[in-house]
Amino acid sequence: MDTKIAFAHDWAVTYAGSEKVVDAVTQLYPEAPLYTLFYEPEVLKNTFLAQRPVKTSSLDRFHFLRKRHRTLLPIMPFLWEQFDVGNYDIVFSSCHAAAKGILTRADQLHISYIHTPIRYAWDLYHPYLQESKLTKGIRGFFAKCILHYLRLWDFQAAQRVDYLIANSNYVARRIQKIYRRPATVIYPPVDVELFSAAEPREDFYVTMSRFVPYKRIDLIVEAFTNLNKPLKVIGTGPDVEKIRRLAGPNVELLGYLPNDVAKSYLERCRAFVFAADEDFGITPVEAQAAGAPVIAFERGGCCETVIAGKTGLFFKEQTVKSLVAAINDFEAQGTSSWDSKAISAHAQKFSRQRFQQEIKHYIEEAWSKFCLSPT
């Protein structure tokens, strides 16, 4: 495809799910530059993102802002509209905040991979205000005004994109609801080939996540404390003290672990537990690639990656009672009910290779259609 392409991504200061998407797609176009508001070279030095030109916002020169970038959400629309990508035929944006707002001309194709519409402005608006204690007072008033403005801008920005891609059917439904536009679903890449299902299962459960409220690690820890069953908790974050207070002697908080150590726990655990309402959810897929059945909250992307009765089971409410019932049900079925190799085989459909094939075909087909449309 003899065209010039540029990539845009909200910010690149960590290497999490959305950065793995950008890493995988930019690998297909090694000469293409990356536009992003903030960029942390040390974090991304061993990725494909480090091998390309990176163009950042004017604020990236203030390094302290890289860790405080979320506080700049109100001005992110303005920052994204300052990038000049006029020399490119195709702009591919990866967006969970404002990257889709980058400005393109009518003769440029803009494809946006939507990880989620801005959750704290839409789905999590009221919970966000409550958790941040912004429901009342002058600070609350201004926060509501800013989020109202962001919703207006976010809707308008989505209308300027030529093609929308969603990372799950769950997100595609929200895109239709919020932006009133259809989106093609292409599941994100998961490095499933790094995991093995050959290890014998041991008598402990695992959960792994950043300790933030919506991940509901507190719910998992409380449920296992009540049951007095062994649980290994991998991760850290703002809620670490809250989680520590809830944890009984049967719950081991392991903190952050290197990838190879975390991988070992997934390959040996009896089951992986996941309680978040997640847009896609990479860790449950990684757990399945490691042969572990998944006990998951029955909402969000997990409903598309976990097969009830074959690769895991669900609990219907984000409550300790509902999760405890699911764990008891899982144990009643016995370990012989779960085929680790079959679980791992199911996870292979979410591989990086599959993602790259689908996304490359999509870009080329979209460009062909775009070139045939009247200008």
Q: Do domains 5-189+352-372 and 192-350 have the same CATH topology?
A: yes
Number of other residues whose CB lies within 10 A of the CB of residue 86? 12
Helix axes 352-372, 17-26, angle to 10 degrees: 60
Q: What is the mean pLDDT of residues 140-146?
A: 93
| Average pLDDT, rounded, for the chain | 94
Q: What is the mean pLDDT of residues 197-216?
A: 92
* CB of 246 closer than 8 Å to CB of 218: yes
Q: What are phi and psi of 98, to 5 degrees?
A: -130, 5
- In CATH, what is the architecture of 5-189+352-372? 3-Layer(aba) Sandwich (3.40)
Residue with tokens 């950008």: 22
Report pLDDT for 234: 96
Alpha-carbon distance 255 to 289, whole Å? 22
- Structure pTM? 0.92
Handedness of CA 101, 55, 78, 105 (dihedral sign): negative
Structure tokens, 169:
């059917």
Alpha-carbon distance 245 to 57, whole Å? 41
Alpha-carbon distance 169 to 6, whole Å? 26
Report pLDDT for 336: 82
Among the listed residues 349, 329, 284, the one whose alpha carbon sits nearest the alpha carbon of residue 311: 284
Q: What are phi and psi of 264, to 5 degrees?
A: -60, -40
Alpha-carbon distance 41 to 217, whole Å? 30
DSSP 3-state percent helix, strand, coil across the chain (nearest 5):
45, 15, 35
Among the listed residues 183, 42, 44, 172, the one whose alpha carbon sits nearest the alpha carbon of residue 111: 183
Helix axes 137-159, 169-179, angle to 10 degrees: 100
* CB of 80 closer than 8 Å to CB of 27: no
| Whether the predicted pLDDT of 131 surpasses 90 | no
Q: Is the pLDDT higher at 345 or at 131? A: 345
First to last CA, the chain: 20
CATH number of 192-350: 3.40.50.2000
* Residue 375: pLDDT band with limits 50, 70, 90: low
Structure tokens, 170:
């769950």
Handedness of CA 365, 368, 371, 373 (dihedral sign): negative
Q: Which residues lie below 8 Å from residue 118, measured CB to CB, with a gap of 6+?
A: 96, 97, 98, 150, 151, 154
pLDDT tens, residue by residue, 353-369? 999 999 999 999 999 99
Residue with tokens 């409903």: 303
Report pLDDT for 1: 63
Per-domain residue ranges of the chain: 5-189+352-372, 192-350
Among the listed residues 230, 87, 102, the one whose alpha carbon sits nearest the alpha carbon of residue 158: 102
pLDDT tens, residue by residue, 264-300? 999 999 999 999 999 999 999 999 999 999 999 999 9
Alpha-carbon distance 251 to 228, whole Å? 8
**DSSP assignment of 170-222:** HHHHHHHHHH----EE-PPPB-GGG--S-SPP-S-EEEE----GGG-HHHHHH
Residue 355's SS3 state is helix
| Whether the predicted pLDDT of 54 surpasses 80 | yes
